[in-house]
Chains A and B, each alone.
Chain A
Amino acid sequence: DAKTTQPTSMDCAEGRAANLPCNHSTISGNEYVYWYRQIHSQGPQYIIHGLKNNETNEMASLIITEDRKSSTLILPHATLRDTAVYYCIVAKTSYDKVIFGPGTSLSVIP
Chain B
Amino acid sequence: GAVVSQHPSWVICKSGTSVKIECRSLDFQATTMFWYRQFPKQSLMLMATSNEGSKATYEQGVEKDKFLINHASLTLSTLTVTSAHPEDSSFYICSAETGGANTGELFFGEGSRLTVL
Chain A interface (Cβ < 8 Å from any Cβ of B): 32, 34, 36, 38, 41-46, 49, 85, 87, 93-95, 97-103
Question: Does A44 lie within 8 Å of B108, measured CB to CB?
Answer: yes
**Which of B49, B105, B110 has the most chain A CB atoms inside 10 A of its CB?**
B105
**Which of B44, B45, B46, B109 has the most chain A CB atoms inside 10 A of its CB?**
B44
Q: How large is the interface on B (under 10, 10 to 19, 20 to 34, 35 or more residues)?
A: 20 to 34
**Which of B36, B43, B91, B106 has the most chain A CB atoms inside 10 A of its CB?**
B106
Contacts A41-B111, A94-B97, A98-B95; is A46 near B46 (CB within 8 Å)?
Answer: no
Chain B interface (Cβ < 8 Å from any Cβ of A): 1, 4, 6, 32, 34, 36, 42-46, 49, 91, 93, 95, 97-98, 102-111, 113
CA distance A22 to B106 in the complex (A): 19
Apart from the given pairs A43-B6, A93-B102, A100-B36, 10 other A-B contacts in the complex at a CB distance below 8 Å: A34-B105, A41-B111, A44-B108, A46-B1, A46-B106, A46-B107, A94-B97, A98-B95, A101-B43, A103-B43
